[in-house]
Amino acid sequence: MSTTIHPGAVDDLSRLYRETILHHAHHPVGFRKAIRETHRNEQFNPLCGDRIVVLLEVEGETVKDAAFDGEACAICTASASLMCQRAPDQSVDEMGETQRWLESALHGKEDPAEYEALQPLLGVRRYPSRIRCVMLPWEALLQAVKGVGPGPG
């Protein structure tokens, strides 16, 4: 049995992707937000110039709050914004699972329905060179909770 995707559905997904990315790029959650920082990591993508600093407030094994700063493209900024929206009250392990799912889903290996709020980021699957833009904030988050300093420049 084959599944046929209605052409309008593809257009709807593309529109959702564009609208969500633009909304989070123009109104990013957690951007330059003052938090009680306990963990921090900076990541840099030399291919496009994205630089993201992720700041976390972690209590025990729970991310209580997240913020970010830096200069990045709309896709990286939107990814950081969605990450900051998702992070509060999640365990460090849950955030790691989300990061692994996102990376796998960007390469077409996971069910995109599992993390509905992150689906708009999957629009970059058609542009493999932009996957790093999506993953940069998530890599900074994981390095921050591991206590690793700034990433390679």
CA distance 149 to 140: 9
pLDDT in tens, the chain (153 residues): 333 444 454 566 677 678 888 898 999 999 999 999 999 999 999 988 999 999 999 999 999 999 999 999 999 999 999 999 999 999 999 999 999 999 999 998 877 677 888 988 988 888 899 999 999 999 999 999 988 655 444
pLDDT of residue 91: 96
pLDDT of residue 147: 82
Check if the beta carbon of residue 103 is closer than 8 Å to that of residue 48. no
CATH of 7-145 among 3.30.465.10, 3.40.190.10, 3.30.70.1060, 3.90.1010.10: 3.90.1010.10
Nearest CA among 137, 141, 149 for reference residue 45: 137
Domain range list for the chain: 7-145
CA distance 19 to 32: 22
pLDDT of residue 1: 37
pLDDT of residue 101: 94
**Cβ-based neighbour number of residue 26 at 10 Å:** 11
pLDDT of residue 45: 94
CA distance 128 to 143: 23
State the chain's maximal CA–CA distance in angstroms: 53
pLDDT of residue 153: 43
